[in-house]
Structure 1
Amino acid sequence: MTTQILLVPGFWLGAWAWDDVLPLLRDRGHDVTALTLPGLEAEPVRPPGEVTLDDHAGCIAAALDRDADRRVLVLHSGAALPGTLALDRHPDLVDHVVWVDTAPVRDGHAMNPDLEGDTFPLEAAWEEELAGGSMRDLTPEQLEEFRRRAVPQPAQTVRGVVRLGDPARLAVPGTVVCTAFSSEEYRSYAAEGVPFLAALLDHTALDYVDLPTGHWPMWSLPRELADVIDAAARPPA
């Protein structure tokens, strides 16, 4: 039986963000691919102002292995937006979703519809991220590499509106990896209607795993995150 694991990083990141996790999963016998979404290459192929949310969703969908027996889609942070779009368009191609400190979104959601310009650079969020504690457990070397390798996020992928139409996505099994906030807080915020978490109430086959650390567990707790992904990749008993 072949199982594909597709790793999709969040804002500002390329496939390199998974360098500590990917070999751990391959050592366990999985077929693993890490994506760099359009506009986030070290040397972007297209002007970032042209890259859309649909481009990112299409890239994810195209990377799903049609010939695999089982496909696990791993989405970190802002990758939840194009990931939810890809899931909505191809629910038959995803057997399990791992939501890494993120959640599916609802129809009509936009991360920041008022964002202006062609890009959203890391520096625009850096102080806020540090103040919020999401950098917890990262070493100075990891923080420096993050700043050095980060690519400005194409703005249309931040202000773009998610349009969904297939309720079959709601039944696709998923694991919500709760890091910067606990699973109890995730559920509480969803019940309060926090926009980025509200769709958790719609999905019918979600499990929650607490992995207390910051927002980038692929760097702070790679082995523990690999364990969670490996468990999700195993066929149901």
Structure 2
Amino acid sequence: MARILLVPGFWLGAWAWDDVAADLRARGDDALALTLPGLDPADDDRLDATLEMQAQAILDEIASDETVVVVAHSAGAAPTYLATDIAPLPDWDQLEADGNSLAGLDEVSLARFRERAVSEPTGIAAAPLRLSDSPARLAIPTTVICNSITADMVEQLRDAGQEPLFAELAEIDAEYIDLPTGHWPMWSRYKELAELIHTIANR
């Protein structure tokens, strides 16, 4: 039995697929037709819909642990193709290869992660960080809790001045604390992390 998501084109809602969906279900397939954001006449905000919202609606209907056949009609191909580009998470091997350590995460945590993750908006992920010349931010007490890499390594990268991600740390009088685990300590060592946060916050 195939899981099939039917995406309509311009001017159409899920109703456009009624006959096809019924036929597919009679053949034993799990067919679902989708009304994309902007095409529901009962939605008062429908004119505010974007292509990105339509792509996310498609992704929201697809569980990460299943194979889904997505059928797009006409202009429904645009949000469908965009959905393939902004899918929430790469596979675990790719995450590890990109430097996001999964150390300490059990299967339950990974399943919840995969189920609930959403794609980061391109406008946020690709935006440069622009800081003012005001020194006020440099006076804010800062603690860096180091997980995937050690505090010593963070300080070395900071002092080398060659990694843009660590450049600002050279300007800040920060404290560095090790909490050895992967990139997501809020799942892998949540008790220890909570204790550290509590201690630091209540100094």
Q: TM-score, length-normalised on structure 1? A: 0.47
Q: Distance in 2 between matches of 1:153 and 1:181?
A: 24
CA 1:124/1:155 → structure 2, altered by over 3 Å: closer, same or farther? farther
Q: Please list, as runs of the form range in 1=range in 2, the aligned pairs for 1:205-224 lying within 5 A after superposition.
A: 206-224=174-192
Shift of 1:128: 2.6
Structure 2 contact 181–188 (Cα < 8 Å) conserved:
yes
Q: Please list, as runs of the form range in 1=range in 2, the aligned pairs for 1:3-152 lying within 5 A after superposition.
A: 49=52, 120-124=86-90, 126-131=92-97, 132=99, 134-152=101-119
AA aligned to 1:199 is E
Q: Distance in 1 between matches of 2:86 and 2:146?
A: 25
Task: Identify the residue that residue 196 of structure 1 maps to in structure 2.
Answer: 165
Q: Does 1:162 align with 2:123?
A: no
CA 1:133/1:152 → structure 2, altered by over 3 Å: closer, same or farther? closer
AA aligned to 1:214 is G
Structure 1 contact 49–156 (Cα < 8 Å) conserved:
no
Runs of 4 or more above 4 Å deviation: 45-50, 117-120
SS at match of 1:231: helix
Q: Distance in 1 between matches of 2:165 and 2:198?
A: 26
Shift of 1:180: 0.2
Q: Which has the higher contact order (CA 8 A, sep 6+)?
A: 1
Q: Distance in 2 between matches of 1:120 and 1:227?
A: 35
Q: Distance in 2 between matches of 1:125 and 1:150?
A: 12
Task: Identify the residue that residue 233 of structure 1 maps to in structure 2.
Answer: 201
Q: Distance in 1 between matches of 2:202 and 2:168?
A: 25
Q: Distance in 2 between matches of 1:174 and 1:48?
A: 39
Instruction: Give RMSD over aligned pairs.
Output: 2.6
Shift of 1:169: 0.2
Q: Distance in 2 between matches of 1:46 and 1:188?
A: 47
Structure number with the higher helix fraction is: 2
Shift of 1:172: 0.4
Structure 1 contact 182–210 (Cα < 8 Å) conserved:
yes
Q: Distance in 2 between matches of 1:46 and 1:197?
A: 38
Q: How many percent identity over aligned positions?
A: 35
Structure 1 contact 179–217 (Cα < 8 Å) conserved:
yes
Structure 2 contact 89–117 (Cα < 8 Å) conserved:
no
How many residue pairs match? The answer is 124
User: Where in structure 2 are there 5+ consecutive unaligned residues?
Assistant: 1-47, 54-81
AA aligned to 2:182 is G
